[in-house]
Chains A and B, each alone.
Chain A
Amino acid sequence: MKEASVILINATGLHARPASMFVKEASSYACDVTVEKDGTEYNAKSIMGILSMGAMKGDEIIVRANGEGEEEAVKALAALIETGFGE
């Protein structure tokens, strides 16, 4: 299992376009991917789950992957968040 803790820097947080970018990226890996916020874990491949998380700018979240390609998955998703989804 791999994980990384990241802070959302883009203005809209995990919302609208960034949320779907995040879910699409997560879904491209075979391993299980989750996101933890305030002690609750959400399925990173679920758009409804990610939206319901309500993660905003400045929130700290933990990206976690387990299984095939876990290292690449965590790296890519953390990079997406750290670069502010290209906003």
Chain B
Amino acid sequence: MVKGIGASPGIVVGTVLVKKEEEIEIAKKTIDSSETEILNLQSAIEKSRTQIQALYDIALVKMGEEEAKIFEAHQMVLDDPEVFGQVENKINNEKINAEYAIEQVVAPFIQMFEMMEDEYLKERAADLKDVAGRVTKNLLGIDMVDFSNLDSKVVIVANDLTPSDTAAMDKEMVLGFVTEIGGRTSHSAIMARTLEIPAVVGTGNVLSQVATGDVIAFNGDEGVIFVNPNEEKIAEFKAEREKYDAFRTRLSTLVGKESVSKDGIHVELAANIGTPEDLDSVLRNDAQGVGLYRSEFLYMDRNSLPTEEEQFDAYKKVVAGLEGKPVVIRTLDIGGDKKLDYLPLPEEMNPFLGYRAIRLCLDRDDIFRTQLRALLRASAFGNLKVMFPMISSVEELRDAKAIVEEERVKLREEGITFDEKMEIGIMIEIPATAVIADLLAKEVDFFSIGTNDLIQYTTAVDRMNEKIAHLYNPCHPALLRLVNMVIQAGHKEGIWVGMCGEVAGDPRLIPVLLGMGLDEFSMSPISVLNARWIIAQLSQEEMKTVAETVMNLPTASEVEAYLANTIQLED
């Protein structure tokens, strides 16, 4: 058994194909004719160009323009005068063999890019290695592994996979892959999810334990790998795979369907996202909107605040991409455990009770105004709604809304169009806000309950603290009562109420939330279809009784037991 990181879901049992890292020994040789050597180099470059063009065409069809761009970048490297131009110069001047010259030219570039802090530039080292490796192999006549042309179904095991490797993979033939290096966000992991190929990455030294022809089994969620498992284990995996495949197939029949309960109550199942890149997965999983777009990601991993234009572009991309479906964008939620290098905040005794989110934005209204302008401008391109995080009182809400109004006036004066009816709502994540939800409901267009913080603040449990993590439980009757209070208070004032915390996608609690009358459930895109499946099996009328009952049970474990016994779902 080998433990890695689950990178792309799915159950795999299959025969291993090891991608051997060709240990190419490149020695310095003196050559007689630099003309011949340069001709060899040029023909290797041309061969590489044809191969890269073919990969571009495959990637374009399979993954779209955005993913295919990487091969355009590879073509630019082939044409780069400072790379292969310099290689030619070296061959001419030093009378050395082409592969050695390539190594000499490329190594300093790779080293420089790998040392850069910028993630984008770091990745360029991988491009350069990929292209230089390709040309070198073509020069030496070494066959490259071609995953687009396999004659049997395999599970690929490698130290690492290049973009060229993953793009060429045929989902029909590649059952899954395992790599020794990488994490959940490394290139190969992202590609695996895009291609929907189950994968485990970051296994460490696994190549010493498997060979081509071995049998391997793993679950791409869990990341545990079994090499040459016994008959019993294989049968277990096969049964699990069948169940999983049936589950996915059933969910795929729900794409394009409405989210409606057995007794005809419609709800909205939306997705939580962090960047415009998540749009793909929102659409693929047929979410009916975005219930939480965490704008803070736009502010992270950079050296300065994002400009109005940058923000506008990102918001517009998501709003336009959803073609009129609602997109709830949360204004900057920074502070607490989320920090920005370029915006130093004083150390606090209790950062979760400190200077963060809307508190920071009302204090630094320069930052807030830039974001609001970008949001208002983007509202002209679809159905955008703005949501303020960490509101704890009516005053804060009024202050924030006043700033929005001032920015609206300015935009009108500048003749810039925006959605005059753009909805404004708040996150309900502080118990005080839940308690005065009836008062707040008169001044907003919607509520969205953020359960992660609401549980933490209601029960005074820091869930990162392992000693007390068991006290953090969404089935705590206090949380259930608060949630119900907020929903009823919202409905009394005629506004809609959603939930964007993890509870919204929790299969155990979806029945309770449906019974309470929650209007919008926002969750990870991957959970949407399963939630649709669950809701279709429930009657809201019956769930009302369930909700009433659980709110009156004394302990979280009794709530859990009651739900497990009462709600029978097909799985």
Contacts and interface: CB of A to CB of B under 8 A. Distances in A.
A11 B116 CA distance: 19
Interface of A: 11, 15-16, 20, 23-24, 27, 43, 45-49, 51-52, 54, 56, 87
A82 B368 CA distance: 28
A70 B113 CA distance: 31
Contact of B307 (A11, A43, A52): A11
B120 A46 contact: no
Contact of A48 (B83, B120, B303, B309): B83
B73 A48 contact: no
A48 B128 CA distance: 9
Interface size bracket, B side: 20 to 34
Given A48-B82, A49-B82, A51-B124, A20 B113 contact: no
B380 to A, nearest CB: 19
B76 interface: yes
Contacts of A56: 303
B82 A15 contact: no
Contact of A52 (B72, B79, B113, B313): B113
Given A11-B309, A87-B309, A43 B81 contact: yes
Given A15-B120, A43-B82, A48 B310 contact: no
Given A48-B128, A52-B112, A52-B113, A27 B79 contact: yes
A14 B80 CA distance: 16
B100 interface: no
Contacts of B116: 54
Contacts of A23: 76
A52 B80 contact: no
Given A16-B120, A20-B73, A20-B76, A48 B109 contact: yes
B81 A45 contact: yes
Contacts of A87: 309, 313
Contacts of A45: 80-81
Nearest to B116: A54
B340 interface: no
Nearest to B72: A20
Interface string B74-93: 00110111110100000000
B121 interface: yes
Contacts of B72: 20
Contacts of B76: 20, 23-24, 47
Interface in B110-134: 112-113, 116, 118, 120-121, 124, 128
Contacts of A20: 72-73, 76
Nearest to B313: A87
A45 B76 CA distance: 10
The 7 closest A-B pairs by CB, nearest first: A46-B82, A47-B76, A49-B82, A46-B80, A11-B310, A11-B307, A43-B82
A51 B121 contact: yes
A48 B307 contact: no
Contacts of A52: 109, 112-113
Contacts of B128: 48
Contacts of B124: 48, 51
Contacts of A49: 80, 82
22 contacts: A11-B306, A11-B307, A11-B309, A15-B118, A20-B73, A45-B80, A46-B81, A46-B85, A47-B73, A47-B76, A47-B77, A48-B82, A48-B83, A48-B124, A48-B128, A49-B80, A49-B82, A51-B113, A51-B121, A51-B124, A54-B116, A54-B121
Nearest to A32: B81
A49 B83 CA distance: 9
A56 B117 CA distance: 14
Nearest to A42: B82
Nearest to B120: A16
Interface string B299-320: 0000100110110010000000
Nearest to B109: A48
Interface string B51-88: 00000000000000000000011001101111101000
A20 B71 CA distance: 13
Given A24-B76, A48-B83, 11 more contacts: A11-B306, A11-B309, A11-B310, A15-B121, A45-B80, A46-B82, A47-B76, A49-B82, A51-B113, A51-B124, A56-B303
B114 to A, nearest CB: 12
Nearest to A12: B310
Contacts of B112: 52
A22 B249 CA distance: 47
Nearest to A47: B76
Contact of B83 (A16, A46, A54): A46
Nearest to A15: B120
Contacts of B83: 46, 48
A51 B122 CA distance: 11
Contacts of B73: 20, 47
A41 to B, nearest CB: 12
Given A11-B310, A52-B113, A87-B309, A47 B80 contact: yes
Contacts of B310: 11
B521 to A, nearest CB: 35
A72 B303 CA distance: 35
A47 B72 CA distance: 12
A20 B303 CA distance: 22
Contacts of B85: 46
A23 B121 CA distance: 16
Given A11-B309, A11-B310, A20-B73, A48 B121 contact: no
A78 B209 CA distance: 57
A87 B310 CA distance: 8
